[in-house]
Every structure is written in C-alpha cells, then in structure tokens.
Amino acid sequence: MVAFAGLSALLAGCQTTSVAPTDAEGRAEPSTSATPGRTESPVQSGRPAPVTGLRPSQPADSFDAAPADLIGRISAGLVLPAASDSAIDREFDWYVANADYLNLVLRRSERYLHHIVEALERNGMPLDLALLPIVESAYDPFAYSRGQAAGLWQIIPGTGRELGLKQDWWYDARRDVLESTEAALQYLRQLEQQFDGDWLLAVAGYNAGGGGVSRAVRRAAAEGRTTDFWGARPYLPVETRSYVPKLMALARLVADPEEHGVSLPAIADEPYFRVIETGGQVDMALAAQIAGMSTDELYRLNPGVNHWATDPDGPHRLLVPVDRADALATAVSSADGLAGVRWIRHIVSAGETLGHLALEYRTTAQVLRQANGISGDLIRVGQGLMVPQPTGASDGYGLLAAAFAEGTDDPSSGERRQTYVVQAGDSLWSVARRYGVTVANLAQWNSMSSQDILSIGRELVVWSDSPVFVPTGNQRIRRITYTVRQGDSLYRISTRFRVSVADLLQWNNISPERYLQPGQQLILFVDVTDQST
C-alpha cells in the first residue's frame, strides 16, 4: 500500500518455513551466497550502489534477442540488488508451494502487465517493480484494503491527492490503470532519489512512507548498523520487514522458475488494450455492447469508473481490448458519435429533498445540482429535475458491486427510504437515535425544524442503512458497526455477538450466498449485557 510518513501498510507476512543464521540481536543475517541470476547486495558495506539497469551477471548483448514472452522480458530486466536471507527464503518457499495461486495472479495481470512494463522501461526503472502489484493487490484492480487503499498499486486517499489523482463520485483515479501506474512510478522515483538510488529502501518507503524509512535508516546508523534496507529493517514496521522480501522472492522465482520446478504462464509481449478517446461521458453498458464485449470486462480495464457511466468531466477515454477497439473507435468517429447517457425527468413531490432524491436515484446531491444548475439545496414542489440514469438494467453493471465490495467512498451506499409512524413520547432526537441518523438530517428529510414537536400518528421519512426499529426503552440494545475480518463468516459473527444469522441478513440486506469481504461493514443490534467476549 502506498503511504507517506506516519502511515503504515496493511500487508501481513507469511509464516516462517526456513531458518537462517542470526546475528547477536537475533536478526537473520543476509548470506553472501549468490542467488542464481541475481546481483548480490553489498550488505556489509552500507547502501548499495545506484541501479545501472544491467545485472553484472547478464551478458551485455542479451538485450539484442527479444524475450519469448512478457515474463521472459521481465526476467531479462531484473536489476534490483538481491540477498539470501531467511525472510526472503520463507516468502520464496510460500510462492513455490502456492504456484497455482501465483499463476492465477499472473494470468489476471495479463490485462495490465504489458503497459506497466512499457512504463517502467520508458522511465528507466527496474522491471522488478512490475511484480510489486502482486504483493500489493494480487493484480486485482478492485482490491480495497481496510486502510482504504485502492487499485492495482493500493494507493490510499491522502497519497492519491498528493499525487494528483482525482477522486469523486464518478471516478477514482487510484484504480485507473493509466493514472495509478503513472502516479505509483512517480512516487517510487521520488523515493529512489530520496534514498540516493537505493531501490530496496525506495520499495520499503512505498509501503511505510519515506519519512518512516528515513527514521529507520538514521536509527540504524546510530546503532552502528549498515544504512541499507537490511541494516534499517529491524526499525521498520513489521509489515515492511516482510514487504520487501516478498518482492525479492518473486524476482528470484521469475529469474529462473524452471530451476525450482515452477511453470509460469506465457503472457504475450504485446499490448492488451488500446485507448479510445470518447469525446464525452459514455454509458459503460452501451460502450461494451458496441465493442462486442461484456460490461464486466470493460470495467476490469476501466476500474476507475465508479458507476454506470464515465465521469462527465473526464477523462474522456476508455481502455478496450485490441481486438475490440475498432468497433468502438468507429462508433466514436461516426456522425452521431458515441451516445452519452440517458436522462429522466423527476417532478418534485412534497417532502422530497436533493439528499433523498440522490439516494433514490443512486447518485449524489452534487450531481443533481450540476445537472440542473442549482446552487443550493432548495427545491420546490412541482419543480422538474433532470436525473442521469443508466441505459441498461441494473444487473448489467456487475462489477460496480465488486468495486465497492470491501469499502466505498459513496456515502449513500446501502441507505434506503423507510417510514416511521410517530408514537406517544417520540421526538426527533429519539427517532434519529433509533435509526442511527442525525436530528438535522431527519428534520431536513421531513421539511421540519430540528426544534419541532412531533404529532402522534405523523409519518416520518427516514433514510437509513438499518431496516429495523430498535426500541430505546430497552437500554441493553446497542447498534454497532462491525468490520469484517479475514476468515469471518456469518455464522462466526452471529455466534460471537449472540445474534441470529437471519437477523444479520435482514439488518444488512445481504444474501446468504454472498461471501463476506474483509473490510466490509455490518450493522448489528446487540444486547450489551450478553457479550461475555
């Protein structure tokens, strides 16, 4: 995960499967034995020399012959200094033992790998870095961590903003293949320059932040240790101590997979996609239909698109498989161009606000303001509003759900319109508390002042992600938000909090067939006196 100073990554290390000699402090000491096909890091003499772009063990004329495939091209361009260390060995052993998983990830990378390799070579950077998304996201463009890191390169929101990556309701450049790759390489280059050409420290900085690595290097120097990654490693976050060895283990395996009995998939060393300029906002389902491909596949190449259409403010382009690009390009260049989006007209009714209309139509109040030239929040009964809508059925945008499976920046996700009938003793405060909403929002939804007194029998509109009413008279019941962890299941969560699986399904409007995702948030109503663990 990309992080600046003070932000740590969320990648956990694997269990140890091999043992190496240790120094006086119990740290695994890097060996001086060379790994086949790799350059050794001068672990005894401080920081290694800057990368030259060519391994000493590689013949100078080896670049004359083109590699058979993209994996071979990466293997020929591995230039990071390497060492033999127990941390690398255990990661390496895991990848060898789980070669099927590695093959799955590499096959998934086929859509993006050629572009990333080309970008690395264009910037004169080690091709080892093309393996970094395996560590970060397993080459899943929809990967989303508990720390809100997103995309192939797992960039957190703050870092994305620092790198100039746009993030709004329509579009998240942290997941965009072109934008995120450019930003990640830019950040890695900054880190490499910060650490005087030491790429291992730069990779560590990508995970732990440049400031954190600098502090670890200074502490290593004060303790009389080397100031390379290995000397600074004991002072780095636990995740970072295994993060760099994971990349080095992958590079070792890619350098010579056959020696270790591993067969890696052949990936054609040619572009997978073309960039088609659309000239404006386009509906994803319509574009996929014209290109003769599935909408899901279009989303996999354009994962930065948050919803059913591209951002009206751009970028106005789509990545399309090479063999499907001509049809889309022809449609764009036709007299009518590529059709944009479908609009519907909504007539405002009593009690409706921009906020709950946005929820009803799965958009945002800001989008409605922009579409209708509204500067504030005031709308009138009988007023007509233009609302953008998808051209296809809701199930025609399958990967939209996947994009937000582990988290979302969309504040309206899961909320729906409910009606509550006021009872004796109710107030705006008590009703808001029951549904986990604010008094201000409850008053706005019902065209009231937050000081108004409720009349018995009045119907209140409530927009909430909780479909149940929890009586405030029972002071033992509390509404909590639980974040799903690795290995959780509906049964395990229901047992832990002493609630039923049926209630979990109802409270969160989910299907029992749907797998829970780490980072997913669930609403629970629990009896606080019945929680012994």
**Taking the C-alpha atoms of 364, 370, 371 and 376 in order, what is their torsion angle to the nearest 10 degrees?**
80
Q: d(Cα 51, Cα 292) in Å, to the nearest integer?
A: 45
**Helices (DSSP H) in 498-533: which residue ranges?**
501-508
Assign 3-class secondary structure to 365-397. HHHHHHHHCCCCCCCCCCCEEEEEECCCCHHHC
Task: Please say whether the beta carbons of 410 and 169 come within 8 A.
Answer: yes
Closest CA to 160 of 300, 3, 318: 3
- Catalytic (active site) residue 259: no
Q: d(Cα 28, Cα 437) in Å, to the nearest integer?
A: 53
Q: d(Cα 311, Cα 170) in Å, to the nearest integer?
A: 5
Query: Under DSSP, is residue 347 helix (H, G, I), strand (E, B) or coil?
Result: strand
Closest CA to 82 of 132, 48, 127: 48
Q: Where are the beta strands (DSSP E) in 197-307?
A: 273-277
Phi-psi sector, 80: left (phi>0), alpha (psi -120 to 50), beta:
beta
Q: How do 317-321 and 416-421 pair as beta strands?
A: unpaired
Q: d(Cα 110, Cα 74) in Å, to the nearest integer?
A: 13
Q: d(Cα 487, Cα 499) in Å, to the nearest integer?
A: 19
Active-site choice (136, 352, 406, 415): 136
Instruction: From residue 333, give the alpha-carbon distance in Å to each of 234, 276, 298.
Output: 58, 10, 20
Query: Under DSSP, is residue 260 helix (H, G, I), strand (E, B) or coil?
Result: helix
Token pair listed for 460: 């209140």
Task: Please say whether the beta carbons of 470 and 525 come within 8 A.
Answer: yes
Which residue numbers are catalytic? 136
